[in-house]
Copies of this chain bind each other. A is one copy, B any other.
């Protein structure tokens, strides 16, 4: 059992429309508010060597990235911290606060709990004009498939390339880029936190089309052997880049460095170098 299978259970109970995007959306006056929540904890997310400050930063960043992927402006963060050692709280809170400040949000509330292992749940709220919200749905055959930055660097650290520590420990959500892209007319967008492959499969699940990418176009971590670098870039998790589609006529979007890695196709498949792409990446699994 993995989390995408479990999501089917959730959809059956709360409705499919609440599981389609990186954030939920509801009206807030004349604007749209987006909301998202993320649970991180020591066993699976906070690796050895991270400081408390970095744990706080990461916890805020992953939620802010979901807001960025909708093209919205991060505004508010709530943070629930389950602590085994109370001494960690100050560092975690300071890291979360600094990340919020960096991206224009503020911490407005939270909860403290005694817990068997450090567990942090952040809930982020953002605002956007309704007409400038990006969604996962909307890709059309002929659109370009693009990605910001260089995917695979966070996973490269996990595979022993210590020079990539900052990418895993201090992710930088693409807030400015997300807003520019949404205003620039992207047709579909999400973050690639579970890897490019799973992201494309997630996009396909809400679009009546498929995706074909060319692995030679995908930027790869430097100083990593070629085959491993390709693997990391396509299937690695822990990045917070934006993956998006847009009509060729709207490319490039001013102010957003990115790479065209493929195109949207009519066939409902995810292809890499012309062959079906493996559906794997960062997933939780249960026995």
Chain A interfacial positions (CB closer than 8 Å to B): 1, 3, 6-7, 9-10, 12-14, 18-19, 23-24, 26-31, 33, 35-41, 43-44, 75-76, 78-83, 85-86, 89-90, 93-94, 97, 106-117, 119, 121, 123, 125, 284-286
Set of chain B residues within 8 Å of A97, measured between Cβ atoms: 13-14
Cα–Cα distance between A112 and B75 once the two chains are bound (Å): 24
- Beyond A13-B93, A89-B10, whether A76 also contacts B24 by CB under 8 A is yes
Cα–Cα distance between A78 and B67 once the two chains are bound (Å): 15
Cα–Cα distance between A106 and B14 once the two chains are bound (Å): 8
- Beyond A14-B93, A123-B123, whether A37 also contacts B80 by CB under 8 A is yes
24 A–B contacts from the bound complex (CB under 8 Å): A10-B89, A10-B93, A10-B110, A10-B112, A13-B90, A14-B97, A14-B106, A23-B109, A24-B76, A27-B29, A28-B28, A29-B30, A29-B31, A35-B78, A35-B109, A37-B111, A37-B121, A39-B119, A39-B121, A41-B119, A80-B121, A83-B286, A85-B286, A123-B123
The 9 A-B pairs of least Cβ separation, nearest first, read: A29-B29, A24-B108, A24-B109, A86-B286, A121-B121, A114-B284, A123-B123, A39-B80, A39-B113
- Beyond A10-B93, A117-B116, whether A109 also contacts B286 by CB under 8 A is no
Question: How many copies, total?
Answer: 2
In the complex formed, the residue of B with least CB distance to A38 is B111
Set of chain B residues within 8 Å of A109, measured between Cβ atoms: 18-19, 23-24, 35-37
Set of chain B residues within 8 Å of A26, measured between Cβ atoms: 75-76, 108
- Beyond A108-B24, A117-B116, A119-B115, whether A80 also contacts B38 by CB under 8 A is yes
Set of chain B residues within 8 Å of A18, measured between Cβ atoms: 106-109
Interface centre among A12, A85, A107, A112 (most CB of B within 10 A): A112
